[in-house]
Structure 1
Amino acid sequence: MVNAKDDRKFSVLIAGGGSTYTPGIVLTLLNGLDKFPLRKLKFYDNDGERQKKIADATAILIKERAPEIEFEATTDPKEAFTDVDFVMAQIRVGKYAMRSLDEKIPLKHGVVGQETTGPGGIAYGLRSIPGVIELVDYMEKYSPNAWMLNYSNPAAIVAEATHRLRPNSKIINICDMPIDIMDRMAAIVGLKDRNDLVFRYYGLNHFGWWTEITDKQGNDLMPQLKEYVSKNGYWVGGDYDKGTEASWESTFKKAADVYKLDPTTLPNTYLKYYMYPSWVVKHSDPNYTRTDEVEAHRQKLVFGECKRIVDNGTAKDTDFKPDEHSTYIVDLCTAIAYNTHQRMLAIIPNEGAISNIDPTATVEVPCLFGSNGPERLSMGKAATYQKGMITEQNSVEKLAVDAWVEHSYTKLWQAFSLCKIVPDAGIAKDILDEMIVANKDFWPELK
């Protein structure tokens, strides 16, 4: 609950207001007004038509549940970024059309096609860098005291770029994937949610390992979790996974095989793309990828529900629900606003958090969040296996940012070739050359 002596109310901007995740964030904000009160909520998107579909339904939702909150949606950066305390950034440069190419071009060459890993992730990263930097610059120009919570993908490359290009900006790069997994861990051991867990974790974004998990009484939960994950991965099933899409079911279950590579830790699900790329390709349909699944399922449901709300003039019976993605973001805002020092993950410059990893690497580790942002916690040394993996993948991410900054074809080819997912430099070049044509409207001209 909010301290009775603290009567502040906050102004929040969702940058990427047309995202299908926006309704979940709005509901989480409305459900959490007792701990994070709002005076204003804004949407900003450069696609006004797409945003309007979400915004029109949101206006009804706010009018019915919290009419005291001022709401507006705009495509004007000055209007959007003026007088805000927090910016929640969730943009997708190139939208689903480019995501589809990120997935399908590599698959044509027998390589994993995925939006945040491998060639597809690198391609998306080069599109995202200028988009996120633009948002940071708008925030600093119009609301210089605001904080940005960025969860635009691919978070690893975006974080590497923002820390390098805007090192003093108040941007915190985050990801909800470990949060989703920790909620699953809590369900597996019979606890309410991730906030009942105390954890140690280290790695890169979408590329990390839990080394310790206890409950708040200090009881070691790792043996029970390891036994479960070794057989089932992170798949919970039953009501918990009701409505979970097929591709995610496969991902959660595959964690069982990833775990076997290092039974001393528990892995992030995305490691399957790096450790079992041949399996992933074999089980992928190059003509129907995750983008097609999202457009047929999540996007259709979200925009359909928004239209139904607008047509009916009420959101009282909506089936929109908060999710892990949104609760984590609001928890972070609350921790910063009220200086709670809650322990949560962030993607930040290493600076000794993992003692035997490059201090300039952009790593994902637990931090204590307060009014000055994240304070990294020491995770000690990475084991030999993890150190090798992290060093290789972080080099890929650094090369990708180098390529964007220097407009370097060679650096980008190096990034593609070094990536563990890509079998050799020849295939890397074939994919890169095709990616250059596909991204001609988004990437700098490479030399």
Structure 2
Amino acid sequence: MTEKKGIKIVTIGGGSSYTPELIEGFIKRYDTLPVHELWLVDIPEGEEKLNIVGSLAKRMVKEAGIPMKIHLTLNRQEALKDADFVTTQFRVGLLKARAIDERIPLKHGVIGQETNGPGGLFKGLRTIPVILDIVKDMETYCPDAWLINFTNPAGMVTEAIYRHSNWNKVVGLCNVPVGMRMGVAKALDVKPDRVEVDFAGLNHMVYGLNIYLDGENVTKMVIEKMTSGDTSMTMKNISDLGWEPGFLKALNMLPCPYHRYYYKTDEMLAEELKNAEEKGTRAEVVQKLETELFELYKDVELRKKPEQLEKRGGAYYSDAACNLIDSIHNDRGDVQPVNTLNKGAIASIADDSAVEVSCIITKSGPKPIAVGDLPVSVRGLVQQIKSFERVAAEAAVTGDYDKALLAMTINPLVPSDTLAKIILDEMMEAHKEHLPQFI
């Protein structure tokens, strides 16, 4: 990783509609993060989108006047050679698979969502074998590189890499904590750099334990604003259903938007069913949005990230990814919430499990900040989701049907083993093309 040759970054899933966000982030940080080579990698099914996004990326770089060379390829091994950082943002089965993940559970009266419940399980079953193949290629072609994984379910994927490979230079990343911090800043009407949050939990199951404004603990103030209806924090892909004031006050922590699936299951299910009937599931909505985005991307006059991308649900994606890479490269020692090995940071989670927690970011990776035990009010739910992630990862690696059934059943969004089996069998059949380990 020398200054002379600059930095080589490989993005797997480079044809994603999110890629312009990433390009924008690298352009903004070029002075401190001189990316001289960026390889965008995709699969044959994604070649058309890769070419469209890649052309936009090249126009953005040219407009910025920086010497960043953009390469487009379907050859992952060629791209990985001597990379410094590898970022992953792919979706096995594309949005069609996500729509199946949403539709089948809903048909059976269960939350249908990309990273939670049955949908999260099947996204993990499809994704983990692929990410482990990528890791094997990295061992051969870029053994010193850092793997920055944005691919969902990020917590389960990070867990699988740590537990089922020999690769330890991996960091799982999510834009949810960044969005939570931005939401706090908006609620307090201050600049985000004045706000700090102690994050602890799991991916899409993370809590803001303490909130600080200029170093002063303002957790109760923020909770008051949320209970009074002055502010609400969610994402484009999660319905903005308000919380019971008494619940939030007693919790006295900042829940993440995904907690609605666990604390407001009935209301969220009703909302999902209504939306699915009226305008389609989230995947079906995103398919339409992506069609519009890629039409915009084709415009040869477009030389910057279009504002419409924010509707896609990936706000702060580039900031999270680029800040992390910049901090590792420059050994900044700043604090960022990431998915990494627990190493005792959360007392009630195994040391060798992946957690999402505030870390000091250094050139040797994230150093988790110890928070002690999670409050008893949330400890059990977090542990249950962690057990789900571990069993699901084992099922994905081994192709063990019974382990997949166990994972489905212990997920708190699935009400019984009988229903778990019905949904599991139907989804196994629907996704069989992308589940060769279960054949």
- 2:204 corresponds to 1:212: no
Alpha-carbon distance in structure 2 between the residues aligned to 1:269 and 1:188: 15
| Structure 1: gaps spanning 5 or more residues | none
Render the CA deviation track for 1:199-219: whole Å, top value 9, x for unaligned: 21211110121111113x321
* 1:26-425 equivalent positions in 2, closer than 5 A: 26-46=23-43, 47-193=46-192, 195-215=193-213, 217-232=214-229, 235=232, 245=236, 247-248=237-238, 250-251=239-240, 253-254=241-242, 260=248, 262-285=250-273, 286-287=276-277, 288-297=280-289, 299-308=290-299, 310=300, 312=301, 315=303, 319=307, 323-425=315-417
Alpha-carbon distance in structure 1 between the residues aligned to 2:9 and 2:247: 39
TM-score, normalised by the number of residues in structure 2? 0.91
* Structure 1 residue 51, shift from structure 2 partner: 0.8
Alpha-carbon distance in structure 1 between the residues aligned to 2:384 and 2:49: 39
User: Do the aligned residues in 1 keep the contact of 2:195 with 2:212 (CA within 8 Å)?
Assistant: yes
Q: What is the SS of the residue equivalent to 1:270?
A: helix
Render the CA deviation track for 1:405-433: whole Å, top value 9, x for unaligned: 33222111111111111111111111001
User: Do the aligned residues in 1 keep the contact of 2:147 with 2:169 (CA within 8 Å)?
Assistant: yes
- 2:424 corresponds to 1:432: yes
Q: Which amino acid aligns with 1:279?
A: E
> In structure 1, what is the equivalent of residue 17 of structure 2?
20
Alpha-carbon distance in structure 2 between the residues aligned to 1:400 and 1:90: 20
User: Do the aligned residues in 1 keep the contact of 2:232 with 2:242 (CA within 8 Å)?
Assistant: no
Alpha-carbon distance in structure 2 between the residues aligned to 1:337 and 1:374: 12
* Structure 1 residue 262, shift from structure 2 partner: 4.1
TM-score, normalised by the number of residues in structure 1? 0.90
Alpha-carbon distance in structure 1 between the residues aligned to 2:246 and 2:160: 29
Alpha-carbon distance in structure 2 between the residues aligned to 1:405 and 1:343: 33
Q: Which amino acid aligns with 2:191?
A: K
Identity across matched positions, percent:
29
Q: CA 1:258 to 1:53, structure 2 compared with 1: closer, same or farther past 3 Å?
A: farther
Q: What is the SS of the residue equivalent to 1:87?
A: strand
User: Do the aligned residues in 1 keep the contact of 2:103 with 2:112 (CA within 8 Å)?
Assistant: yes
Alpha-carbon distance in structure 1 between the residues aligned to 2:246 and 2:358: 22
User: Do the aligned residues in 2 keep the contact of 1:189 with 1:221 (CA within 8 Å)?
Assistant: no
Q: CA 1:365 to 1:269, structure 2 compared with 1: closer, same or farther past 3 Å?
A: same
* Structure 1 residue 198, shift from structure 2 partner: 2.4
User: Do the aligned residues in 1 keep the contact of 2:399 with 2:437 (CA within 8 Å)?
Assistant: yes
| Structure 2: gaps spanning 5 or more residues | none
- Larger CA deviation: 31-40 vs 12-21: 31-40
User: Do the aligned residues in 2 keep the contact of 1:24 with 1:320 (CA within 8 Å)?
Assistant: no
Alpha-carbon distance in structure 1 between the residues aligned to 2:230 and 2:26: 31
Alpha-carbon distance in structure 1 between the residues aligned to 2:268 and 2:132: 33
Alpha-carbon distance in structure 1 between the residues aligned to 2:436 and 2:14: 26
* Structure 1 residue 445, shift from structure 2 partner: 4.6
User: Do the aligned residues in 1 keep the contact of 2:392 with 2:404 (CA within 8 Å)?
Assistant: yes
Alpha-carbon distance in structure 2 between the residues aligned to 1:438 and 1:321: 30
Q: CA 1:9 to 1:256, structure 2 compared with 1: closer, same or farther past 3 Å?
A: farther
RMSD between aligned residues: 2.3
Q: Which amino acid aligns with 2:293?
A: V
Render the CA deviation track for 1:248-298: whole Å, top value 9, x for unaligned: 4x23x445679538432111110111122211111113441101121222x
Q: How many residues matched?
A: 428
Q: Which amino acid aligns with 2:121?
A: I
Alpha-carbon distance in structure 2 between the residues aligned to 1:350 and 1:158: 15
Alpha-carbon distance in structure 1 between the residues aligned to 2:296 and 2:246: 37
Alpha-carbon distance in structure 2 between the residues aligned to 1:224 and 1:388: 26
User: Do the aligned residues in 1 keep the contact of 2:227 with 2:244 (CA within 8 Å)?
Assistant: yes
Q: Which amino acid aligns with 2:63?
A: E
